[in-house]
């Protein structure tokens, strides 16, 4: 675990960066960080005003970035908002999935899942993780999934992306084991969120009217 005493001794609240923080697991992670005395930089590709109000009500100073973390520009917008401040905790949570059989999906949507769940996540972790390693302290939390442990018909790309995240997290943890930087992967099962309830009710929750998995507002299909 990260020793936050140095940060506290300097009179500066620790900083947590949380992606996919507008709803779902990302929202709850950000709330817990705020309750634990962290300031926040949060990101999602959906509006964050309500989340900001809630977290500020818990005493946190909050900066929000609405950006598509599937793109390099979106990740860099978030990274630039950090502004060189030391990040004590990074929760790499943004992600989404697709319903329907793989061959029936639009391939641009397939690439968006990969770019959000894998490429954007790695880009952000690479940027922030190198600074953590240089300082000799920090915590990285990936939102993986038990879905990564099994093939998932009609959500093959999502499950495959989570298999990558799960595996990568364990490998990175080993690489950083003597650096002072901790790496953890959260691997929940189905989670009671707005998206999960909508699917059970037969509703649609996704762009273009498709019955997609969650977008960057928070990992719900887990």
Q: Mean pLDDT across the stretch 103-123?
A: 97
Instruction: Kindly report the average pLDDT of the chain as a whole number.
Output: 86
Does 14-209 carry CATH code 3.40.50.720? yes
How many Cβ atoms are within 10 Å of 73's Cβ, its own excluded?
Answer: 10
CB contact at 8 A, 139 and 2: yes
Q: Is the pLDDT assigned to residue 202 strictly greater than 50?
A: no
Question: pLDDT confidence of 211, banded at 50, 70, 90?
Answer: very low
CA distances from 87 to 62, 166, 194 (A): 14, 22, 29
Mind listing the pLDDT tens digit for each residue in 160-186? 999 999 999 999 999 999 999 999 999
Helix H or strand E encompassing 189:
none
Q: Is the pLDDT assigned to residue 205 strictly greater than 70?
A: no
Question: pLDDT confidence of 147, banded at 50, 70, 90?
Answer: confident
> Would you call 183 exposed, middle or buried from its count of C-beta atoms within 10 A (0-12, 13-18, 19+)?
buried
79 flagged as catalytic: no
Question: pLDDT confidence of 194, banded at 50, 70, 90?
Answer: low
Catalytic residue among 55, 142, 158, 195: 158
Q: Mean pLDDT across the stretch 107-133?
A: 98
Q: Mean pLDDT across the stretch 196-203?
A: 47
Q: What is the pLDDT of residue 221?
A: 40
Q: Is the pLDDT assigned to residue 220 strictly greater than 60?
A: no
The alpha helices in 83-214, defined as continuous H runs, are 107-114, 121-135, 156-175, 194-200
Selection from 86-100, 123-137, 155-169 with the highest mean pLDDT: 123-137
Mind listing the pLDDT tens digit for each residue in 16-73? 999 999 999 999 999 999 999 999 999 999 999 999 999 999 999 999 999 999 999 9
Domain range summary for the chain, segments of one domain joined by +: 14-209
Q: Is the pLDDT assigned to residue 213 strictly greater than 60?
A: no
């Amino acid at each position: 675990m990260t020793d936050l005493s140095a940060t506290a001794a300097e009179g500066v609240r620790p900083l947590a960066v949380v992606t996919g923080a507008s709803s779902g697991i990302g929202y709850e992670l950000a709330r817990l960080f705020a309750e634990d005395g962290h300031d926040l930089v949060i990101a999602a590709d959906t509006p964050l005003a309500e989340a900001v109000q809630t977290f500020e009500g818990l005493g946190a100073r909050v900066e929000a970035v609405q950006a598509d973390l599937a793109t390099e520009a979106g990740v860099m917008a978030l990274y630039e908002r950090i502004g060189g401040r030391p990040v004590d905790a990074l929760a790499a949570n943004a992600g989404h999935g697709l319903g329907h059989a793989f061959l029936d999906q639009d391939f641009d949507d397939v690439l968006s899942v990969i770019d959000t769940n894998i490429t954007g996540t790695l880009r952000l972790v690479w940027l922030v993780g190198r600074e953590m390693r240089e300082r000799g302290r920090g915590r990285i939390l990936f939102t993986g999934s038990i879905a990564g442990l099994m093939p998932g018909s009609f959500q093959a790309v999502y499950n495959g992306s989570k298999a990558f995240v799960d595996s990568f997290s364990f490998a990175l943890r080993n690489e950083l084991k003597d650096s002072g930087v901790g790496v953890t992967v959260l691997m929940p099962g189905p989670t009671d969120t707005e998206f999960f309830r909508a699917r059970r009710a037969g509703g649609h929750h996704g762009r273009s009217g498709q019955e997609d998995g969650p977008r960057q507002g928070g990992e719900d299909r887990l």
